[in-house]
Amino acid sequence: MLEVKKIITFILLIGMIISCTYRKNEVFTKLEVDKTNLDFINQVFETDSISLANNYYFYNGAGITVSDFNNDGLQDIFYTGNHTSSRLFLNKGGLLFEDVTLSSNLDNNFWNSGSTYADVNGDGWQDLFVCTVGKDEPNLLYINQGVSDNGIPVFKEEASKYGLADKRICTQAAFFDYDQDNDLDLFVIVNSQLMNDRNLTKPRNTGQNSYTVDILYRNNGDNTFTDVSEESGITNEGFSLGLAINDINNDGWPDIYVANDFITNDLLYINNKNGGFDEKALDYLRHTSYNGMGVDIADVNNDGFMDITVMDMLPESNRRRKLMQAPVNYDLFNYRADLGYAQQHVKNTLQINQGINNEGNYQFSELGTFAGMYSTDWSWAPLWADFDNSGTLDLFISNGYYKDLTDMDFSLGLKEKLRFGSNEHSIAYQKETLEKLNPIKKSNYLYKNNGHLDLVNVTKEWGLDEPSFSHGAAFADFDNDGDLELIVNNLGHTSFFYKNNTIENNKVNEKKQGFFLKVKLQGPGKNKNAFGARLELFSEGSLKQSYYHSNVRGYLSSMSDVIHLGLGAESRLDSVSIHWPDGTFQTVEAITPDTTLNIIYKPNRKKSTTFRPKTLFESITDSLQLDYVQKENNYIDFNNDPLFYKMYSREGPSIAINDINNDGLDDILLGGSSENSITLFTQNSGIFEKSNILEEDKQYEDMGMLLFDADSDGDNDLYVVSGGSEFAGQQNACQDRFYKNENGVFVKQEGASLNTASGGPVKGADFDRDGDIDLFVGGKISPGKYPTSPISSLLINKNGSLQEETPQFLKEIGMVNDALWSDFNNDGWVDLIVVGEWTKIQIFINKEGTLEPYKDNALEDSSGWWNSISGGDFDNDGDIDYILGNFGLNSYIKADKDHPIRVYADDFDANGKIDPIISYYEKDDKGTLKEYSLHTRDALISQIVAYKKRFKNYKSFSEADFDEILKKHDRKNDFVLDAKILTTTYLENRGAEGFKISQLPIACQISPVYGVLVKDFDGDGNLDALLSGNQNSADPLFGNYDASNGILLRGNGKGKLEPVSTMDSGLYLNGDQKSLVNLFVGNQQVLLAGANLGTIKAYGNNAQNKESNKVIPLGSMDAGAFITFQNGEKTKLEFYYGNSYLSQSSRKIKLLPIMKEVIIYDFNGVKRKVL
């Protein structure tokens, strides 16, 4: 028995050791009240006069301000309270705090929301500003009078004296020096307690006559402030919840970001350096969060530009998400845009700063879904801070709400009940109903940043997984040991205090990393806090981190003014550069890590002149006189096909380049949408003359176009694919057209028997080597029968006549988006590669003029939502590799081999129409991936009315997995397609070893890719690639996929492709980019990009156009070239009749000085030397 006890004791001891070790390795340890004395609890109490029934923001919580109020070198904590008095806790050292609220004269019975601090009067003591939201309750300004004999700071409330006692519903405020006069001005955000009109679609109010316009106070320099809002351009209304001050456009002047709730736009006020601001949100941001809450701005990816993070309320689990998803009205979505409202979506947003564009505006790419932090439920405070001292900023998010107002069953039921009855009855009914609602009580979120926007949820691993109703939060090094503690203001529960164990863990584990640097600034004049200063940290000659000094961050909260920089393994630092808020500069060298650097304002260098090197590309659209805007008809796919995830009627324009009038110059054709004719730009003396042609056929929706000499008469004829999704049941509405060129005029060949399926691409090659160009035409969509396979065609050229001779296996190969004729196996016969939606990468090998399906194990699980393909010898090994454009990863639609997206299609309700139900994998309430419907309850009911009886409310639908939505007995005759790869991909040709699929860099995954142009853009002898894309016709439920500005990939000749920043490339291909081509204007190489509902953009190539290199026109039967460079390297080129999405580039080649020998070969293998 004794031995058993010994064994049990030993096991318990081992368990304790393991448990203690695990706790030590946690980044955070929650300290209870008995360890800290922080017993603050924010509370609210419902009464007849105030409750959620008459105050929508009743449960919106309160914030935290952290500062050293008694100048003892320790950071103190000020909690704001709602029905609880706000309280100040002095830091006594050792993470022990003392409540000194009464002694400091800070107790009040107002409803406090946000707060902030600054040394307002420049006397060396931190003052405190508190926002109030109660009726007729003024904002409060507590002026710090210094400390009493026992070291407690004493405050005096003087808001009226300073001119700051406004009684509007004020949420938060921030001190900053907007006019660079070395004193602190004040910005206050305003909201409303009114319950109606919050989502009412009405013309935006951009004038001052609104009760929800924010307030800008100018510091008069004599301890008084003046409201200068209207004269300074602060005139836009909004239901403001979040505020951040930062230098968004890197010009040295502070800008303002306001996150607004409900329909009102988020506001981005750019400082015009003349005492005012210009509202630029719609110019800088492509879409924003709908219910904007807290906001933080920081350099998330260490590239020197400030990024913006805004919180919303999208749930993480399928059940909660489906319970809150309301019907989406595309027409209303567009109507709001017409009224000036931003594209807004219910999700957290992460706006990554991409730098300045050609118009002088900074451009942001919204990558919240890509980074994985878009759905953290009802969220409040985002805070970027380096909690593990790794050198990258981690992300904390607070969340929780007392009542689940997002429950659609509740919302619709309440709306129905409130249609009748008095206001008194309505409020009583609301109170009764609200009491029955479930809470949203979840743990907060913490994401570790591994760099490159790789955010990993470490909430549990780092010790923060306690459910709560959390709001404001703040971080600071409360024990001065070199890592950041975290504090959170909770509703109805004591606040959280998390001690950071990073320093201790590094010592225990003997890690030579986790270095840090703390910086304390003393600024000029009365801006003692140096708010508005910018720090840049350099190591080994390069910029490692940038930091903008502003204390108001997250939600209703303010951070310490001691700057904390994690350094990771950087033990050697070159310098810290300070851009002071008055525009002066200072550099400090010989920096020692793991110390606090005190920097006093002493500028020691002049402002550096901003030098922007010449970019690789330069916009020349205007100089070429390319005046064109693509137009669409008013057809809305979702009205007839509510289960579409995007609109298939918005897939153009196509572009074809070739010489049409036989003058030796490249001309341009742009396809028109239905009721819009083809546009011709004829080149003449370095500019283009515009005309509309083939007006008699403008009823067709033009897709792929191809200019080629079909009849070998020396001029280029035209084939046009007709497509679109709007012609269900209309015979011959998608009839393809073939036009012969007769002296520069296209004449339709009426007798041609061509494809009547709704098509997409057309690609040409002499695949049978008989001396003329044959065509492959891909079927894109079956209108009214999505996703059944439309008919694809192989058209054999016989003496200028196109005859359909399609093998059976090639007719129904799926929804084809693109194809490429390419000799992948170097046998001299061009093969066919086809990609599309819900299809694998399909290769048809050419066996001496006969196509056969080709098998490669690497392609078996290659199904995707492929958009495009283009080829080039990227590794200079003599065979052709490929880049394939796909849907990308910046969506909550994700897929892999084990968790594909699927579409189940059949006429499930027997009404004569195919019902395409899409599924995807999403987390259940336990975090397990399960298959669910991609569609909302309302979308499914719009397609299949019977679902209204099967799922009588949102709750039943939210709890249903896919087998309950589409029961097995309903699926007897359905057919199922899937997509397992969504990444834009590099397909390496390894010869006899087959193909290898690799994901291209993350810059290529932030949006759908359509255009792929392969050229040696920088003239180094190695092929590069330019990718364009986006998708602005998506279901508004998911939001537009609009993050791309075009991606230039620089090749190294060994198969590696590295992205070039947009500021270095000079390319800004934003908008709904589709086609992408290369052409020549004289000897100048030009790239041309076509966007749906957008302009065409032309860019000249500064690397290749600086020299008058010879341009060789290709013969109509030329297929490729072998090139030897001066350094002995060799490569192979192919010349395509159509490559990439709806694109045909120029058939010319430029000879560069680095080339030693160029041998061109035709489709029959006949060679000729041109260099």
| Tens-digit pLDDT profile for residues 723-758 | 999 998 888 899 999 999 999 999 999 877 788 999
Backbone torsions φ then ψ of 166, nearest 5 degrees: -70, 145
Q: Which whole number is the average pLDDT over 1079-1087?
A: 95
Q: How confident is the model at residue 1106 (pLDDT cuts 50, 70, 90)?
A: low
User: How many other CB atoms sit within 10 Å of the CB of residue 801?
Assistant: 15
Compute the mean pLDDT over every residue in the chain, rounded to the nearest whole number. 93
DSSP 1149: E
Which of 851, 849, 850 lies closest to 770 in space, CA to CA?
Answer: 849
Domain assignment present for 529: no
pLDDT at 365 over 50: yes
Does residue 40 have a pLDDT over 90? yes
Q: Can you tell me the distance from the alpha carbon of 225 to that of 709, in angstroms, rounded to the nearest whole number?
A: 76
DSSP states along 315-345: -SSHHHHHHH-----HHHHHHHHHTTPPPEE
- Is residue 954 located within the same domain as residue 1001? no
In a 3-state reduction of DSSP, which class is residue 1122? Answer: strand
What CATH number is associated with residue 134? Answer: 2.130.10.10
Is pLDDT at 208 greater than 70 in this prediction? no
What is the domain range of residue 953? 901-977
> What average pLDDT does the segment 535-548 reach?
92
Measured CA to CA, the distance from residue 733 to residue 1002 in angstroms comes to: 40
**Cα(296)–Cα(309) distance, rounded to whole angstroms?**
5
Q: How far is CA 196 from CA 54, 171, 211, 1082, in A?
A: 10, 19, 14, 62
Query: 911, 945, 977: which is the final residue of a domain?
Result: 977
Residues 986 and 1059 in one domain: yes
Same domain, 477 and 466: yes
The average pLDDT across 685-689 equals 96
> What are the counts of helices (DSSP H) followed by strands (DSSP E) for the chain?
17, 81
The answer, yes or no, to whether residue 196 has pLDDT greater than 80, is: no
The reported pLDDT for the residue numbered 14 is: 39
Q: Is 927 a member of any domain? A: yes
Q: Are residues 629 and 684 in the same domain?
A: yes
Res 19: pLDDT: 38
**Higher confidence at residue 34 or residue 327?**
34
Within a domain: 558: no
pLDDT at residue 7 in the model:
40
CA distances from 1164 to 576, 771, 832, 846, 1121 (A): 64, 8, 17, 13, 13
Q: Are 244 and 270 in contact (CB under 8 A)?
A: no
pLDDT of 1108 above 70: no
Structural Rg of the chain based on CA atoms:
32
Beta strands in 505-625 (DSSP E): 515-522, 534-539, 542-548, 552-553, 557-558, 562-568, 573-579, 585-591, 595-600, 617-619
User: What's the CA gap between 549 and 527, in Å, rounded?
Assistant: 12
Which pair of structure tokens corresponds to residue 297?
Answer: 């701005």
The confidence score (pLDDT) of residue 8 equals 38
Indicate if 811 and 920 belong to the same structural domain: no
Residue 605 located in a structural domain: no
Q: What is the mean pLDDT of residues 224-232?
A: 97
Contact present, 336 and 201 (Cβ < 8 Å): yes
Domain co-membership, 882 together with 1029:
yes
Mean local confidence (pLDDT), 511-537: 94
Which of these, 227, 175, 215, lies nearest to 191 by C-alpha position? 215
1013: three-class secondary structure by DSSP: strand
Nearest Cα to 956, choosing from 964, 944, 968, 967? 964
Q: How much is the pLDDT for 201?
A: 64
Do 221 and 281 fall into the same domain? yes
Q: What is the pLDDT of residue 614?
A: 83
Query: Would residue 320 count as lying in a domain?
Result: no
pLDDT at 645 (0 to 100): 95
Query: Are residue 957 and residue 1054 in the same domain, yes or no?
Result: no
The last residue of one of the domains, among 484, 508, 532, is 508
Are 815 and 919 in a shared domain?
Answer: no
Mean pLDDT of the region 112-117 = 98
pLDDT band at 10 (very low <50, low <70, confident <90, very high): very low
Mean of the pLDDT values across residues 67-72? Answer: 98
Query: What secondary structure letter does DSSP report for 793?
Result: E
Q: Specify whether 731 is located in the same domain as 872.
A: yes
Flag whether 325 is in a domain.
Answer: no
- The yes-or-no verdict on residue 1139 having pLDDT over 80 is yes
Burial of 145 (0-12, 13-18, 19+ CB in 10 A): middle
Together in a domain, 963 and 1007: no
The answer to the question of residue 555 being in a domain is no
Segment holding 429, helix H or strand E: helix 423-434
Q: Which of 977, 1000, 1020 corresponds to the end of one domain?
A: 977
* pLDDT score recorded for residue 20: 39
Residue pair 62/81 in contact (Cβ under 8 Å)? The answer is yes
Q: What is the mean pLDDT of residues 495-509?
A: 92
pLDDT given for residue 332 in this prediction: 82
Please give the Cα distance from 950 to 967 (Å, whole number): 11
Q: How many residues does the chain have?
A: 1171
pLDDT band at 701 (very low <50, low <70, confident <90, very high): very high
Please check the confidence at residue 609 and state whether its pLDDT lies above 70.
no
Q: Can you tell me the distance from the alpha carbon of 467 to that of 476, in angstroms, rounded to the nearest whole number?
A: 23
The pLDDT value recorded for residue 421 is 59
Question: How many domains would you assign to the chain?
Answer: 3
Q: In angstroms, how far apart are the furthest CA atoms of the chain?
A: 108
Statement: residue 23 has pLDDT above 90: no
Q: For strand 344-345 and strand 288-289, is the pairing parallel, antiparallel, or unpaired?
A: parallel
pLDDT score of 128 more than 70: yes
Please state at what angle helix 408-417 crosses helix 423-434, rounded to 10 degrees.
160
Q: How far is CA 697 from the centre of its chain?
A: 39
Which two structure tokens, joined as six digits, stand for 128? 């405190």
Distance CA 776, CA 706 (A): 11
- The answer to whether residues 998 and 1119 belong to one domain is yes
Which is nearest to 382 in space by CA: 473, 285, 269? 473
pLDDT at 12 over 50: no
Percent of the chain clearing pLDDT 70 (strictly above): 94
